[in-house]
Structure 1
Amino acid sequence: MAISRVPSYALLLLLLVFFATAEEATGDVAEESAVLTLDSSNFNEVISKHPFIVVEFYAPWCGHCQRLAPEYEKAASILASNNPPVVLAKVDANEEKSRELASKYDVSGFPTLKIIKNQGASVQEYKGPREAEGIVKYLKKQVGPASVEIKTADEAAKLTEGKKVFIIQTISYIFAMITSLLAVRVSYVLYWTGRPLKSSPTISCRTLIVLGSGGHTAEMLSIVNVLRKDKFAPRSYVAALTDNMSLQKAQVYEESLLNSESNIEIKRGGAQFMQIYRSREVGQSYVTSIGTTIVAIMHALWIVLKLRPQVILCNGPGTCIPICACAYLLKLLGWRWCSIIYIESIARVKKLSLSGLLLYKLRLADKFFVQWPLLQQKYPRSQYAGRVM
């Protein structure tokens, strides 16, 4: 009997070895799941390694969880090769050791999917489809495209080949740089506006003189009469297109200077006389004045670019506004520095004219003179010049 039992024990041992080998072999060929399995022991460690991870809280007995499982697995396999990769994980919330995690993430039903970003700093509910294709499409939108560092022109060409690439970040940097430079330039112009500029006393300044109908021209010619003609030369006179008298008076004045003065600096270059479109005629509707204002601004810009004045003298006519605005714009852009000198009309005793008020409030004028003390008290940045007539 003892002899007959040996083969039985040997057979039993062989069977155990066979089943163990078969089980090991089956484990070797079983396909590894693309979905990570988490519990309280490894949850925090895995979350800290991934900036974007989706976690499914499920229960094995839940029918919805069972139907989701193959779709979730398929989506995980696809998203693993995404750039950047999207990690899908699952937690058996029915287990005792994982119930604390389910409570922490407010799991009240199964399955519950949470999108966890930035190593756990941001948590949001997954509200997308439950089939593989929909899960992939939804999560790709959530994670966005990967950022790529481009080091060479060849890499840039390869990256953009056959694609429409919008370099939003570069545009943002350029916009921020332009804005910063413009802010610095505006600060520089505001600081130096009204301050004396360094210039040689022997160098003359190209001067643009704005004339207006009525008493404006008479006052302006009185101001020009006391200027050093050799310093403010050559002179250019501008009046509205509908003003037929102002330029004639200026021509007569300049001719009288040529006949009476012998200084060669006065005669050098002579004087220019130009007309400009008005922004708005008296009685013109505000609707139609929009178009005429645009034309006037474009004409004023052309005049300023052509004459390139270093000094602008004006005393109130509306014609001066587009000219001063264009000159100030060119000053901001660094094209040409032009000093704007405004002398309010003597007729303005208690309040400024509309032109004067605009230049004063917008700080376009380098020097702002008034002819009455009451105005200077009311507008403290102005300077009292006395009466020029």
Structure 2
Amino acid sequence: MAFLGSGAYTSELLIFLSQLDVKRFSYRIYLLNAEDANSDRQLRNFEKFCEPFSSYQVENLISHCSFWRKVLKYIHYLRIHKPDILICNGPNSCIPCCIAAFIAKFCFISHTSVVFLESYCRVTRLSPTGKLLYYSPFVDSVIVQWPSLVELYRQTDYIGWIK
């Protein structure tokens, strides 16, 4: 399951996903803001290049509901789909999804691992969303793309630049 933010965040996450083994992740679920036509277009173009036997589903999100209502909606998605992993990046709109995964784990609804991918443009410090998730129990891994960030934030995972 991947949470697609918007704009450049979507592009960056799709580049990351393109490097994963499509056969291992042959069924993918995307959480996408219903009002984000640009990310929807990027996603559909991305999926054209995936293996023909793979399939995906898009869950359209409502952006104007309350924080806790979003959390409950995400818990519902996690209960239905039971993904092994949730990958998110960028905007603070992914925080309710990460909290939902934490609650679902705590309540034995789902055992989804949560990975936050910090943006390539973050060279000297984590983004506000990255900091919040780094210091919280809501994610299992924070991935950074610059070695200087690992020196400051020892619990991050360095993977190098996503190309």
Does TM-score exceed 0.5, indicating one fold?
yes
- Taking a change above 3 Å as real, the CA distance of residues 361 and 273 of structure 1, as seen in their structure-2 partners, is same
| Secondary structure in 1 matching 2:149 | helix
Partner of 2:74: 300
Partner of 2:93: 319
5 Å-filtered alignment, 1:334-349, equals 334-349=108-123
| Secondary structure in 2 matching 1:253 | helix
- 1:292-340, Cα deviation, whole Å (9 max, x unpaired): 2132222222222222211111122223211111111111122221111
Q: Which amino acid aligns with 1:309?
A: P
Q: Which runs of 5+ in 1 are unaligned?
A: 1-207, 280-290
Aligned residue pairs total 163
* Corresponding residue to 1:278 among 63, 87, 91: 63
| Secondary structure in 1 matching 2:14 | helix
Greater relative contact order (CA < 8 Å, ≥ 6 in sequence): 2
| Secondary structure in 2 matching 1:245 | helix
Q: Which amino acid aligns with 1:301?
A: I
| Secondary structure in 2 matching 1:319 | helix
What percent identity do the matched residue pairs reach?
29
Contact 1:237 1:247 in 2 (8 A): no
State the Cα distance separating 1:361 from its structure 2 match.
0.7
- Give structure 1 regions of 4+ aligned residues with deviation exceeding 4 angstroms: none
Partner of 1:193: none
* Corresponding residue to 1:353 among 119, 123, 127: 127
Counterpart CA distance in 2 for 1:365 and 1:331 is: 11
Q: Which amino acid aligns with 1:316?
A: G
Partner of 1:211: 4
| Secondary structure in 2 matching 1:387 | coil
RMSD of Structure 2 on Structure 1 (CA): 1.8
5 Å-filtered alignment, 1:35-74, equals none
Counterpart CA distance in 1 for 2:34 and 2:75 is: 16
Counterpart CA distance in 1 for 2:2 and 2:153 is: 24
From the two aligned structures, give the one with the greater helix fraction: 1
| Secondary structure in 1 matching 2:92 | coil
Contact 2:102 2:137 in 1 (8 A): no
Counterpart CA distance in 2 for 1:302 and 1:335 is: 9
- 1:89-115, Cα deviation, whole Å (9 max, x unpaired): xxxxxxxxxxxxxxxxxxxxxxxxxxx
State the Cα distance separating 1:232 from its structure 2 match.
1.7
State the Cα distance separating 1:225 from its structure 2 match.
0.8
Partner of 2:83: 309
Partner of 1:379: 153
State the Cα distance separating 1:341 from its structure 2 match.
1.4
Counterpart CA distance in 1 for 2:66 and 2:110 is: 26
- Taking a change above 3 Å as real, the CA distance of residues 327 and 347 of structure 1, as seen in their structure-2 partners, is same
Partner of 1:267: 53
The normalised TM-score by structure 1 is: 0.40
Contact 2:114 2:138 in 1 (8 A): yes
Counterpart CA distance in 2 for 1:214 and 1:274 is: 18
Contact 1:304 1:323 in 2 (8 A): no
Larger radius of gyration: 1
Q: Which amino acid aligns with 1:388?
A: I
From the two aligned structures, give the one with the greater strand fraction: 2
Counterpart CA distance in 2 for 1:276 and 1:354 is: 22
Counterpart CA distance in 2 for 1:234 and 1:255 is: 14
Q: Which amino acid aligns with 1:267?
A: F
| Secondary structure in 1 matching 2:69 | helix
Partner of 1:45: none
Partner of 1:364: 138
- Taking a change above 3 Å as real, the CA distance of residues 244 and 349 of structure 1, as seen in their structure-2 partners, is same
Q: Which amino acid aligns with 1:277?
A: I
Q: Which amino acid aligns with 1:273?
A: V
Q: Which amino acid aligns with 1:235?
A: R
* Corresponding residue to 2:18 among 205, 214, 225: 225
Counterpart CA distance in 2 for 1:354 and 1:277 is: 23
- Taking a change above 3 Å as real, the CA distance of residues 295 and 364 of structure 1, as seen in their structure-2 partners, is closer
Counterpart CA distance in 2 for 1:228 and 1:243 is: 27
